[in-house]
């Protein structure tokens, strides 16, 4: 075997070993590979922390999703906002991006209902929102989310399918 063949085999073996390593949420190098779609600042309102969480999911930043969830949770009344608390608790307690995304779909539905019912705490500081939908999320079951921008940035797939989705309505 010549040197080029040996180097090519070594590179291929290194690639296969690196790709077969299990992903962990603690792997900060994994997060560095993704683009950051988060804004430099979010207000401390429930809605803004929801939007922060959405942007962190788009960016695939597990710890930022949890942090936004914690700030959101601290503002809610457990007895009044039970529909928000349940998925939010799952998000906060999980270090698995897939679980966070599934809980975020349920949280999004609860947020939409709260906003449509003019919940003063959830609607505080509200500007125009867009109800967006990804038909491919969760095995083609589809899922909705709220966004402050008309542009689609998919929190259920992140960069894998960043612009998959459509705007269904505005709130």
Q: Mean pLDDT check: name the lowest of 93-97, 125-129, 151-155.
A: 125-129
Residue 3 pLDDT > 60:
no
Question: What percent of the chain is modeled with pLDDT above 90?
Answer: 74
What local confidence, expressed as pLDDT, does residue 110 receive?
A: 98
Whole-number average pLDDT of the chain: 85
**Residues 13-62 pLDDT 10s:** 433 333 333 333 344 334 445 688 888 889 999 999 999 999 999 999 99
Structure tokens given for 70: 């914690």
Alpha helices for 21-164 (secondary structure H): 28-32, 46-59, 62-75, 82-93, 97-116, 120-123, 137-140
What local confidence, expressed as pLDDT, does residue 125 receive?
A: 86
As to burial, measured by CB atoms within 10 angstroms (0-12 exposed, 13-18 middle, 19+ buried), residue 79 is exposed
What local confidence, expressed as pLDDT, does residue 56 receive?
A: 97
pTM of the entire structure? 0.79
């Amino acid at each position: 075997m010549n040197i080029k063949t040996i180097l090519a085999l070594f590179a291929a073996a290194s690639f296969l070993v690196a790709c077969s390593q299990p992903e962990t949420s603690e792997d900060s190098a994994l997060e560095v590979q993704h683009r950051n779609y988060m804004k430099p600042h979010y207000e401390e309102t429930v809605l803004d922390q929801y939007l922060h969480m959405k942007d962190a999911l788009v960016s695939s930043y597990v710890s930022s999703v949890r942090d936004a969830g914690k700030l959101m949770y601290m503002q809610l009344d457990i007895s009044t906002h039970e529909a928000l608390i349940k998925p939010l608790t799952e998000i906060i307690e999980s270090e698995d991006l897939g679980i966070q995304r599934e809980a975020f779909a349920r949280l999004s539905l609860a947020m939409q209902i709260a906003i449509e019912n003019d919940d003063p705490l959830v609607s505080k500081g509200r500007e125009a929102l867009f109800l967006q939908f990804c038909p491919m999320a969760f095995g083609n079951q589809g899922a909705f989310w709220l966004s402050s921008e008309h542009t689609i940035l998919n929190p259920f797939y992140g960069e894998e399918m960043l612009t998959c989705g459509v705007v269904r309505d505005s709130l």
